[in-house]
């Protein structure tokens, strides 16, 4: 049976690229998902020029038209969530329920920004000068370059593309190479929903060719990137040098504090979900569990019991809790960190072994360590099903350990104390804080983003997305 071939979408047309790549299925390496076109620097330049040419008309287009297109895409995503969820699970390795949930979320995001397109507002103020009025309005930024990672193949593109278009920008979108299928499905929906030629373009391919061209092209006015810290920093430097607006969402080493007074079931559920669901491949994963002495033994025992009941396997099969690691490279990184943790003296209390399955895939048992705050396993982002538990004597010490990181995306606490929950929310150095919930798993209609080394620029999602995708104009009128 021939595999689907995913083509690039440039200036309203489906086009071939210079080379081809294979879209692998990490649960079943002998059963790839499809083939995709890898664009060149020339293809990317063509997409940027098309977006630049389309911008003036789209910027002035009716907000009703923008809302209708986004709403159509949102409805289609919701209607096809099972089918597209299967595609997502096959190409990324998330379990089917997680993948279907992600597609539904992408649909809700498109619908949210369909509404926001109709609510682009401003302010009207009296001037300090008699007879003068002041209006503050929002205008689109121009051509937006969108560079996405592989771990949320449809939700992250959705939460960048939908606001970009809603506020009147044109888009050049570069998906991660591991997940071209979901990106193609989104481009296909936008095309059929009637987005005008050039307004939305998608170029698949490498960071070196496609990504770099987007980042350095003078016609790209703003870049929204989600991915690793290393690439993010390079993009920041290049974009800042030429005066482009930049928004970066990068890594995390998110702490989950478990205090002595926590409800044990709530804490174990939050920790297992936050650290290991989606194979731990979430920027918001709770990879540091900071556990107070009084509950430590009970918590660790309950964690081991819960982890031993989890089923690792083929992402599309019913009853599987944890799908495969996304690719060989990430699996090697996970195994390297497991080795480094052991070498540094961390104690492996559960898992960490490869799991064999009827299909060939990257299956890894979740790994839980106990360790010390200074160990690499407690400081560096692994981006896999690997977590470390650290002891704390008191709330104060737990708080200090939670903030002792270069990252600041999300932080959580499990406690029944209003005092400690309130203090935690106030003092946690993170963009998002959770009480009695996993650090991963956020709503689509409120701001998303971090502090410190995790994020640069304004927040994504919800109404706050307008900060990045618009620029403010102040108009004075004497009358
Ligand atoms: P990555 O940085 O390797 O790649 C991200 C994207 O950048 C890909 O599309 C890639 O092709 C592109 N790219 C690579 N080199 C480039 C270059 N020189 N110029 C321009 N583009 C380039 O990240 P990844 O492996 O796809 O994703 C995993 C990382 O993403 C993790 O570190 C994770 O924490 C982070 N992440 C962060 C968030 C968040 O919101 N904070 C969300 C999801 C993932």
**Which tens digits make up the pLDDT trace of 222-252?**
999 999 999 999 999 999 999 999 999 999 9
**Which tens digits make up the pLDDT trace of 51-104?**
999 999 999 999 999 999 999 999 999 999 999 999 999 999 999 999 999 999
- Check pLDDT > 70 for residue 191: yes
Look at residue 14 in the predicted model and tell me its pLDDT. 98
- For ligand 1, whether the C-beta of 283 sits within 6 Å is yes
Q: Going from the N-terminus, what domains does the chain have, and what CATH number goes with each?
A: 5-250+454-478 (3.40.605.10), 255-435 (3.40.309.10)
| Confidence at 2, pLDDT banded by 50, 70, 90 | confident
| Confidence at 1, pLDDT banded by 50, 70, 90 | low
Compute, in angstroms, the gap from residue 193 CA to the centroid of ligand 1. Answer: 28
**Residue among 180, 212, 224, 228 to mutate when testing ligand 1 (max atoms within 8 A of CB):** 228
CB 189 within 8 A of CB 44: no
> Region 111-127: what's the mean pLDDT?
96
**Which tens digits make up the pLDDT trace of 363-417?**
999 999 999 999 999 999 999 999 999 999 999 999 999 999 999 999 999 999 9
Residue with the smallest CA separation from ligand 1 atom 12 is: 207
Compute, in angstroms, the gap from residue 453 CA to the centroid of ligand 1. Answer: 14
| Confidence at 150, pLDDT banded by 50, 70, 90 | very high
- Check pLDDT > 90 for residue 361: yes
> Region 13-22: what's the mean pLDDT?
93
Residue with the smallest CA separation from ligand 1 atom 9 is: 176
- Check pLDDT > 70 for residue 268: yes
Compute, in angstroms, the gap from residue 147 CA to the centroid of ligand 1. Answer: 8
- Check pLDDT > 90 for residue 109: yes
Query: Catalytic site residue 249?
Result: yes
- For ligand 1, whether the C-beta of 212 sits within 6 Å is yes
């Amino acid at each position: 049976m021939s595999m689907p071939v995913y083509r690039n979408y440039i200036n309203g047309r489906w086009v071939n690229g210079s080379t081809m790549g294979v879209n692998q299925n990490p649960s079943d390496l002998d059963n790839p998902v499809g083939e995709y076109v890898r664009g060149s620097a020339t293809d990317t330049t063509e997409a940027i020029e098309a977006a630049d040419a389309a911008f003036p008309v789209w910027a002035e287009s009716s907000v009703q038209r923008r809302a209708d297109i986004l709403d159509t895409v949102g409805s289609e995503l919701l209607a096809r969530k099972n089918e597209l969820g299967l595609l997502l699970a096959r190409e990324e390795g998330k379990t089917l329920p997680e993948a279907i949930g992600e597609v539904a979320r992408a649909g809700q995001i498109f619908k949210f920004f369909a509404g926001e397109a109709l609510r682009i507002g401003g302010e009207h103020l009296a001037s300090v000068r008699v007879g003068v009025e002041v209006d503050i309005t929002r205008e689109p930024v121009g051509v937006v370059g969108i560079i996405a990672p592989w771990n949320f193949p449809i939700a992250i593109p959705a939460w960048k593309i939908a606001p970009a278009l809603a506020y009147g920008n044109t888009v050049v979108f570069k998906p991660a190479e591991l997940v071209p299928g979901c990106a193609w499905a989104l481009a296909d929906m936008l095309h059929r929903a009637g987005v005008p030629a050039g307004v939305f373009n998608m170029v698949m391919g490498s960071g070196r060719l496609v990504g770099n061209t987007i980042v350095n092209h003078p016609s790209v006015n703003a870049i929204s990137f989600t991915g690793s810290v290393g690439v993010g920093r390079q993009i920041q430097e290049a974009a800042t040098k030429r005066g482009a607006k930049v928004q970066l969402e990068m890594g995390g080493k998110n702490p989950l504090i478990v205090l002595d007074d926590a409800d044990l079931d709530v804490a174990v559920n939050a920790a297992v979900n936050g650290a290991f669901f989606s194979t731990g491949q979430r920027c918001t994963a709770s990879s540091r569990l900071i556990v107070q002495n009084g509950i430590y033994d009970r918590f660790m025992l309950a964690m081991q019991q819960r982890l031993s009941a989890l089923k690792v396997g083929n992402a599309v099969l019913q009853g599987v809790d944890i799908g495969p690691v996304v690719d060989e490279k990430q699996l090697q990184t996970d195994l390297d960190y497991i080795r480094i943790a052991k070498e540094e003296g961390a104690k492996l209390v559960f898992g960490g072994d490869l799991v064999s399955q009827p299909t060939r895939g990257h299956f890894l048992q979740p790994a839980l360590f106990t360790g010390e705050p200074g160990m690499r396993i407690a400081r560096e982002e692994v981006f896999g099903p690997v977590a470390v538990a650290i002891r704390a004597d008191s709330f104060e010490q737990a708080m200090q350990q939670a903030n002792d990181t270069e990252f600041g995306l999300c932080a959580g606490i499990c406690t029944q104390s209003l005092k400690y929950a309130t203090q935690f929310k106030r003092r946690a150095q993170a963009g998002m804080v959770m009480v009695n919930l996993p650090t991963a798993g956020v709503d689509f209609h409120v701001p998303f983003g971090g502090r410190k080394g995790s994020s640069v620029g304004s927040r994504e999602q919800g109404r706050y997305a307008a900060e990045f995708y618009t620029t403010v104009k102040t108009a004075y009128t004497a009358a």
